[in-house]
Chain A
Amino acid sequence: MSFLKKPNIAHPGLPKNEIGLTIRDYEGAMSTLCAGCGHDSISSAIMQAYFELSVEPHRVAKVSGIGCSSKTPTYFLGGAHGFNSVHGRMPSIATGANAANRELNYIGVSGDGDSLSIGLGQFGHAIRRNINMMYLIENNGVYGLTKGQFSASADRGSTAKKGDANPYSPIDPVLLAISLGCTFVGRGFSGDKEHLVPMLKSAIKHEGFALLDIISPCVTFNDHEGSTKSYAHTRANLRETVYADFTEHHEEIIAQVDPGEYKKITMHDGSRVGFKRVDESYDPTNRVSAISYIEEHRAKGEVVTGLLYMEESSSEMHSVLGSNKQAMATLPYNQLNPGSETLARIQARWR
């Protein structure tokens, strides 16, 4: 970590977004992670995505659990709300917060340990409820904070820094999420912001639970030869399959049809996600074929990346429950709490 703060001086020609902010207004505190950590690069992509979407930082709520990845919400969007929760329990906090205030923009940041070991149950149920949030797994295959033990996402045969091979088969959050009915599933790489940023923007705009599994190399414990989550190995085995091309609702569509683009999905607010297929055989709206495609390439040691699955008609938690359109947090107290007389009347109905 650096001892000095990032200098408070900016390029005078820095572009401004629609609400008059520059990318510098989306920064947080100085990162205390190891220099070169993939997580820092993801934080930077997150800032870029919110900046490009012109989201007001104070309309965002950042929630996280425990781990290197869960520290990172401090390092972006300093003006946002935040809650650093118990290990693996972030989905519960996110569910509660979302239930109370549906008007905020939720981002959950978690890691392979936080989501795939201790928090696996919570993770599954947040998907099942289709909470309207973006859920990131910053996936490096190791427990960095406890000095580099294999995590549940480490590939079988992948070696630790000292050379021991991992005997267990990995949990793939992408396959897990698709099979659990997640309505938006993508996989990115911290070292490829060009594709990560539009995917993040699509995920932020998705109405429902949007999972992004982001390969994020651990420079200290998992960037060596023999690791399958290093910068070099990920770059060498990356299989770009479908990538998102995000257009906001008010942006004009360029008349020319991009030949690589085969499908567009219009989101609830009118924004559009275009799918650019690198592999023509891939269908990101078909769960069965998506799962078999990912499995097939995983067997070959390839990391399939892109916006891998998206459900057009997603119904998030509030619309399933038919809850109040106005956020509970903004209701006047007498509406939020109708009083003991009303309670007595309701209870009387079941007597």
Chain B
Amino acid sequence: MKPTDTARPDHFHQVVDCQWGCPAHTDVPHYIRQIAQGDYTGAYLENRKSNVFPGILGRVCDRPCEPACRRGRLDEEPVAICRLKRVAADLSDDIREYLPPKGPSNGKRIACIGAGAASLAVANDLLPLGYDIVMYEQHDKPGGLMRTNIPSFRLPAEVLDDEIAMIVERGVDLRLNTKVESMQALLAEGYDAVFVGTGAPRGKNLDLPGRYDTDRIHIGIDWLEEVAFEHTDTIGENVLIIGVGNTAMDCCRTSLRLGGKNVKVMARKPRSWFKASEWELEDAEEENVDILINHAPKEFVVKDGQLKGMLFDKLHYDIDENGRLSDPTIIEEVFIECDDVILAIGQDNAFPWIEKETGLELTQWDTPVVHETNHSSSIEGLFFGGDAAYGPKNIIWAVEHGHRAAISIHKYCEGEDISDRPPRGMNLLSTKMGIHEWSYSNDFDDVPRHKMNHVDLVQRFKDIKIEVELGFSAEQTAREVERCLNCDIQTVFAAKLCIECDACMDICPTHCLTITDNGEEDDLRGRLRAPANNKTQILYVSDALPQTGKVMVKDEDLCVHCGLCAERCPTGAWDMRKSRVSIPYASGTKHIAAAS
């Protein structure tokens, strides 16, 4: 292999699995260290730079960082990153004075359609540059899906209101109860750019016999919205939820708080194929929701205009050696009684208000053609982001779309090429403080992941607004922060200093270092001191070593960043250096590169 080019910002960025896995690239190890030091405000600001809504995401983020966490690959559970984010949000001071105010008007007007995560992120990035933002919202409160689809026992309204206010109060012209009915009309208003962040508001229907013979069959996201705006506050005792994604989990737990006693979630496939996150499934099961697998909906049974129940085909699957499901065979027909059915089988983005005459290029599914990185559409100056762009994802993706679209809008308004994206940077700073002292906590801490404390099972059902998760205690926080492996403290190697004494190889607890003859990647992976079969993780290959011409190879997979290689190195060929990726934003306030 060729010597690894560590000057490329992506190289060390990739080693920080959580940050690399996060769509918005939040510098997780950095803010965890800030929490460890009691700098909650700093940790909140660090989060806010990239993900804009730390308090919201600290509760309901989809957490792509956690499955990516290196700790999970060491036969353990990942660091509770999301919970720690909430600690920062719960304990942070008011940070309003640190936010840049709206800049002097640059005379440019931008329309944002929908007041959800994506539009708010666009506004957050463009306000300091002096743009006038007009934000249209059909409901009487901003927040979009975050407000309508996430029940308040998971995300309290105050948290939502506060973090949205931090953006809106800096000068967004927010027009509530104003549904945009015509794209043509809007485009005619002469905005300098338009951003569409209308989400994926159309819940999928299940057109089976009996569907329209009763009013007790609800579309999940519409029903959650009615609950959120307090238009619905009861439900029957026996409730069936069709589908087993995160919306289904919200529906079943909401049902329990509105009078549901016997709530069943009906899944078509076995558990490993569930779409819901494992932790959302656990929370639902803790509340005694039944999840029935291998049931395919067949018919709504309605008698005299009253919903009696549903018929299902009970299925059997075989799983082949590649872990794939076979086509199902029907074992029997099952009738399950119920008073209400909630359909939570997916959602689509929908644009009935965009007229053909606008000339917007559409895909075969009638969704707009949107550029993958700059979020432009076929109409100049019209951008899409969030679920509206590529269908349902999650909040953290919507925020990242907002950041990217804001860069595009700014470039577009400045007459620059929007496909020319600003580059990322990388800063490295040694953490060496003394002979064997580092400016980070390098010792490996083998405590298990801490469990979130919940409100007890009686108390929590008394009011739908009671937040179930209590947040980490001070003791839990103090221990959990130490579980972070500090993957951003990089092992940086200087081949020319190496005398090949093998000290680093010998001391490495996870055997990730090898000095060997160079070769092609597959060959090299086979010759390392411990199995290096995880090809999603990169190999570092040094320049030829001065004494033998061999190379130092590091398998980044399981390095615990304990720094012992650097402590045992007699010549300082290894150093532990803190990496800081700089991510560009429209407002030009890059991630401050200085390591602190």
Contacts and interface: CB of A to CB of B under 8 A. Distances in A.
Contacts of A44: 502, 505-506
B569 A36 contact: yes
A8 B530 contact: no
B547 A235 contact: yes
A190 B506 CA distance: 12
Nearest to B516: A194
The DSSP consensus for interface residues of chain A is loop
A332 to B, nearest CB: 44
Interface string B294-324: 0000000000000000000000000000000
Interface in B523-549: 530-531, 533, 547-548
A223 B499 CA distance: 10
A44 B505 CA distance: 9
Contacts of B500: 191, 231, 235
Contacts of B75: 12
Interface stretch (B57-65, B144-152, B436-444): B436-444
Contact of A232 (B74, B442, B533, B547): B547
A3 B436 contact: yes
A221 to B, nearest CB: 12
A41 B567 contact: no
A231 B548 CA distance: 11
B209 interface: no
B558 interface: yes
B506 A40 contact: yes
A12 B74 contact: yes
A19 interface: no
Interface residues of A, number: 35
Contacts of B499: 36, 219, 223, 231-232
Interface string B74-86: 1100000000000
B104 interface: no
B510 A10 contact: yes
A41 B509 contact: no
Contacts of A10: 509-510
A217 interface: yes
A267 B567 CA distance: 42
B168 to A, nearest CB: 47
B444 A8 contact: yes
Q: Which range contains the number of B residues in contact with the other chain?
A: 20 to 34
A235 B499 CA distance: 10
A44 B507 CA distance: 9
Contact of A7 (B502, B562, B568): B562
A93 interface: no
B446 A9 contact: yes
Interface string B440-453: 00111010000000
Nearest to B568: A35
B501 A38 contact: yes
Nearest to B534: A13
Nearest to B571: A36
Interface string B495-518: 000011111011101111000000
B509 A9 contact: yes
A40 B507 CA distance: 9
A193 B511 CA distance: 15
B117 interface: no
B396 interface: no
A35 B506 contact: no
Contacts of A190: 501-502
Contact of B558 (A8, A11, A35, A223): A11
B510 A9 contact: yes
The DSSP consensus for interface residues of chain B is loop
A2 B567 contact: yes
A36 B499 CA distance: 9
Interface string B48-77: 000000000000000000000000011100
A4 interface: yes
A171 interface: no
A14 B533 CA distance: 12
Given A6-B564, A36-B571, A235-B547, A219 B506 contact: no
B547 A40 contact: no
B570 A4 contact: no
Contacts of B531: 11, 13-15
B560 interface: yes
Between A2, A14, A191, the greatest number of chain B beta carbons within 10 A of the residue's beta carbon is seen for: A2
B547 A231 contact: yes
A7 B530 contact: no
Contact of B443 (A7, A12, A217, A223): A7
B103 to A, nearest CB: 49
A34 B436 CA distance: 12
A47 B560 CA distance: 22
Interface string A1-39: 111111111111111000000011000000000111110
Interface in A242-287: none
A2 B564 contact: yes
Nearest to B573: A36
Contacts of A41: 501-503, 506
Nearest to A236: B547
A1 B503 CA distance: 12
Given A36-B571, A232-B547, A8 B446 contact: yes
Contacts of A219: 499, 501, 570
Contact of A11 (B501, B511, B562): B511
A205 to B, nearest CB: 24
A13 to B, nearest CB: 4
A136 to B, nearest CB: 16
B548 A235 contact: yes
A5 B503 CA distance: 15
A6 B507 contact: yes
B569 A4 contact: no
B436 A2 contact: yes
Contact of A36 (B74, B503, B560): B503
A2 B568 contact: yes
A309 to B, nearest CB: 27
Interface in B71-110: 73-75
Nearest to A41: B502
A39 to B, nearest CB: 10
A7 B444 contact: yes
B510 A40 contact: no
A5 B446 CA distance: 13
Contact of A4 (B501, B505, B547, B562): B562
Between B442, B443, B501, the greatest number of chain A beta carbons within 10 A of the residue's beta carbon is seen for: B501
A23 B503 CA distance: 16
Nearest to B507: A6
Interface of A: 1-15, 23-24, 34-38, 40-41, 43-44, 190-191, 193, 217, 219, 223, 231-232, 235
17 contacts: A2-B564, A6-B509, A7-B443, A7-B444, A7-B446, A9-B444, A13-B533, A23-B511, A35-B567, A36-B568, A40-B503, A40-B506, A41-B506, A43-B506, A44-B506, A219-B570, A223-B499
Given A23-B511, A44-B505, 17 more contacts: A4-B564, A7-B443, A7-B444, A8-B446, A9-B509, A9-B560, A10-B509, A13-B530, A14-B531, A35-B567, A36-B499, A36-B503, A41-B503, A44-B502, A190-B501, A191-B502, A231-B499
**Closest 6 pairs (CB-CB, A-B):** A36-B570, A7-B444, A44-B506, A13-B531, A11-B530, A36-B501
Interface of B: 73-75, 436, 442-444, 446, 499-503, 505-507, 509-512, 530-531, 533, 547-548, 558, 560, 562, 564, 567-571
